[in-house]
Homo-oligomer: A and B are copies of this chain.
């Protein structure tokens, strides 16, 4: 395979795709084509990071240590903390520490937070005192708080300057901050956040104007403890490019960029996928197995209890099951249809809540809508399910029972699927929390017991 297609960016993209699809061959290719690899690192460290994430850790570690320290740091900055940690665990702690010192402090802190416990201690001990202190300060913040997400590379200027002086100061800061120079924050003599000035407003201001005239006073800001969801909502609602982070004394300590908020929003939005079924919000494909099990097991125990409840509910019907065992054979169909249609209603409501599309005042209307969807589904499927059940059992009465039970369960499922997250939210809980498990409780009881109860009445 050859990569010499026109333009360095095309080369980078091709190599990236190659690594994603055929990691083993890609690693070998890179080892024998170092010039291409180094050009890629130079041209696009973020693409080099993607490549290292795709190939095995040992090869990745080898490629990283062969780079200039500074370049390796840039690539590590662009990798996800978990995969960067996996790669650095292949190296001895002193080498890992050397590479980490080349990273930006916030990315380094995330990476160190993702290391295994003993590896983390060893790496922290090997760091120079300066970076070690900076990283330790960042490590105290929760990863999904503003403190955990912020970069400390933030440009600030004192209130006393003029616009012209500020531009001169920024020309010097430009090299240092590079792409992080979104806004310039203005601080008073105690380092408290006083205002924000956009680069544009500075340029278009009268050079002699004071910074305090040009700046927007009391800008939107967050505290180091602010949750990522609240932070992202502020950035989104007010179309900000970054939001400043202050400590308890109101002093400027960092900023969270819109790009970082975008990743936080993505993590937050997808949290519901795992929350719905009782898997941990912070679980990933890198979580140690025992930690995953510890998170998930309590909800499986809830399922065990639900199973017992279902068994108790079905107890009274043992006689009719003994007489007509076909009923036991058919009853999963009723539970299945209710469970899935309820899950559809649940999913639409939870998604709307995650997107901020369902304010409290609108919730009842959404529940009503899903209830009507349930009735429509019932109207569409009652006859079909009845005919299917009747044909399967070769018994018209079983068909009638089946049609009735499926219709009932579809209607209940629509109301329950929509109602459960609304109730959870009213109770001040996460609307997604184990919602699918509660839903199954309803649709299984109605599905199994409703079917057998109707059978007892009609057969």
Contact = CB atoms under 8 A, between A and B. Distances in A.
Nearest to A80: B357
A261 interface: yes
Q: How many copies does the complex hold?
A: 2
Contacts of A296: 341, 344, 373, 377
Interface stretch (A98-106, A244-252, A317-325): A317-325
Interface stretch (A115-123, A133-141, A327-335): A327-335
Contact of A322 (B236, B325, B341, B380): B325
A289 B334 CA distance: 23
Contact of A326 (B318, B325, B440): B318
Contact of A376 (B82, B290, B334, B384): B290
A239 interface: yes
Contacts of A169: none
A381 B238 CA distance: 49
Given A348-B274, A348-B279, A373-B296, A325 B333 contact: no
B340 A303 contact: yes
A258 interface: yes
A304 B360 CA distance: 35
The range of chain A's interface size is: 35 or more
B285 A360 contact: no
A241 interface: yes
A16 to B, nearest CB: 10
Contacts of A369: 285, 289
A404 interface: no
A397 interface: no
A404 B156 CA distance: 65
Given A259-B239, A308-B392, A373-B296, A274 B340 contact: no
B284 A352 contact: yes
A-B residue pairs, 4 tightest by C-beta: A307-B333, A23-B361, A328-B328, A321-B325
Given A20-B361, A296-B373, A308-B392, 11 more contacts: A203-B203, A235-B259, A262-B262, A274-B344, A277-B344, A285-B362, A292-B348, A300-B377, A307-B333, A307-B334, A319-B325
30 contacts: A19-B359, A21-B361, A47-B237, A199-B199, A258-B262, A261-B262, A269-B269, A270-B270, A270-B272, A270-B354, A274-B347, A276-B347, A284-B348, A285-B358, A289-B372, A289-B373, A293-B373, A299-B344, A303-B333, A304-B337, A307-B337, A307-B388, A311-B330, A321-B321, A321-B329, A322-B322, A328-B328, A332-B444, A340-B437, A340-B440
